[in-house]
């Protein structure tokens, strides 16, 4: 494998000039790809995530088919909660479901913080297989859920629109809330370190549900924990080749300045915010985003227009990683995704 530090993606994460704008996409491997369905067959989602050769093939297939500048580990945010003592399953038509959600002080006391290297050996195996198969110069991105999103899943027990249980705990018993977040943050730090030590070249924290919060609530109830996670993870990977950390949340552009302050080398921006305004306002070294993923279900001309607008506004400024504002949805035509990737490469070729 070549020295990945010179890859287009990692150079962009450091805010350096690149021969073209690198591009990778949230959920670039998954249900929109026939290859994924052929590989998964009747395997349950949880078993699929835990089977290293299947996760590795899904990861590498997507990079190969799309020609993106980075691969991302095929996994999910939630298997990390199993070693905590939570019973997780993925139900058809429902999605992830936790049978024993965290609602009481006793539930919080029962949460375990266990080494991921012992409890999740399939992650290291998958990372090893992926790095062996990826083309030279293509880095692998690892990821974990951010403390707030994982805590909300643990409390709600499944997807939620209003986060009633999570917000009730946050506002009615802040001591319990912070005790839970402390434990989950410990797990996030350990799991992130485990991935870095296993061989990922970058690590992203997904705060997929954080957009439900006001800036005041984020500052008081979430930011200290997220900041600690980034601070500790930034110490992993060695001084010579630090692993870039990406901070991504969705749903509330008002949180972006606080998220930038909370940590990360690259700030992910969803489609609800203007990329350049956020970049200038936060002073981030690098930004990632931010095409609306639903545009990929439209015509090629619409995709070219929307992506071209983002690229024109960035105008080659170093530190831009092109991505979507959130994940590819199952209805997306693969050819449209391939066209987006080639478009970004063609329009930003600076050689």
Binding residues: 27-31, 76, 153, 208, 326
Pairing state of beta strands 88-91 and 95-98?
antiparallel
Cα separation values, 338 from 26, 68, 71, Å: 14, 9, 15
Q: Can you tell me which residue has the tokens 């061989």?
A: 199
Strand order across the beta sheet in which 320-324 lies: 71-72, 140-145, 202-207, 245-249, 266-268, 286-291, 320-324
Which residues touch 62 (CB under 8 Å, ≥6 apart)? Answer: 28, 29, 30, 33, 68, 71, 74
Pairing state of beta strands 286-291 and 266-268?
parallel
Q: DSSP letters of 188-205? A: HHHHHHHHHHHT-SEEEE
Tell me the binding residues for substrate: 27-31, 76, 153, 208, 326
Q: In whole angstroms, what is the distance from residue 268 CA to residue 204 CA?
A: 9
213 conformational bin, left if phi > 0, alpha if psi -120 to 50, beta if neither = beta
Contact 234, 193 (CB under 8 A): no
**Strands (E) located in 66-207:** 71-72, 88-91, 95-98, 140-145, 202-207
Question: Residue 20 has which token pair?
Answer: 């073209």
Which residues touch 61 (CB under 8 Å, ≥6 apart)? Answer: 29, 33, 35, 36, 39
Q: How many CB atoms lie within 10 A of CB 172?
A: 9
Q: In whole angstroms, what is the distance from residue 321 CA to residue 69 CA?
A: 10
User: To 10 degrees, the CA torsion angle through 8, 9, 13, 18?
Assistant: 20
Contact 271, 291 (CB under 8 A): yes
């Amino acid at each position: 494998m070549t020295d990945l530090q010179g890859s287009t993606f990692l150079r962009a994460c450091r805010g350096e000039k690149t021969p073209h704008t690198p591009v990778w996409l949230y959920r670039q491997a998954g249900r929109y790809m026939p290859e994924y369905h052929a590989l998964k067959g009747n395997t349950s989602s949880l078993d699929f995530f835990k089977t290293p050769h299947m996760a590795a093939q899904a990861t590498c297939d997507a990079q190969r088919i799309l020609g993106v500048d980075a691969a991302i580990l095929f996994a999910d945010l939630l298997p990390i909660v199993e070693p905590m003592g939570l019973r997780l399953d993925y139900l058809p038509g429902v999605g992830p479901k936790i049978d024993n959600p965290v609602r009481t002080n006793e539930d919080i006391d029962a949460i375990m913080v266990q080494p991921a290297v012992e409890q999740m050996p399939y992650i290291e195996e998958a990372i090893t297989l992926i790095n062996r198969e990826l083309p030279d110069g293509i880095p692998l991105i690892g990821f974990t859920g951010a403390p707030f999103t994982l805590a909300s899943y643990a409390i709600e027990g499944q997807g939620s629109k209003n986060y009633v249980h999570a917000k009730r705990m946050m506002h009615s018993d802040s001591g319990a809330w912070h005790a839970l977040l402390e434990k989950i943050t410990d797990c996030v730090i350990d799991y992130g370190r485990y991935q870095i030590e296993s061989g990922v070249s970058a690590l992203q924290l997904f705060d997929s549900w954080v957009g439900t919060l006001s800036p005041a609530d984020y500052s008081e109830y979430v930011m200290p924990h997220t900041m600690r996670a980034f601070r500790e993870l930034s110490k992993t990977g060695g001084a010579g080749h630090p692993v870039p950390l990406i901070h991504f949340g969705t749903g509330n552009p008002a949180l972006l300045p606080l998220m930038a302050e909370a940590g990360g080398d690259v700030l992910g921006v969803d489609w609800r915010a203007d990329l350049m305004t956020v970049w200038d306002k936060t002073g981030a070294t690098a930004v990632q985003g931010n095409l609306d993923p639903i545009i990929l279900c439209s015509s090629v001309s619409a995709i070219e227009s929307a992506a071209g607008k983002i690229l024109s506004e960035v105008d080659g400024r170093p530190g831009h990683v092109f991505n979507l504002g959130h994940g590819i949805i199952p209805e997306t035509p693969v050819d449209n995704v391939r066209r987006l990737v080639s478009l970004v490469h063609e329009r930003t070729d600076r050689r």
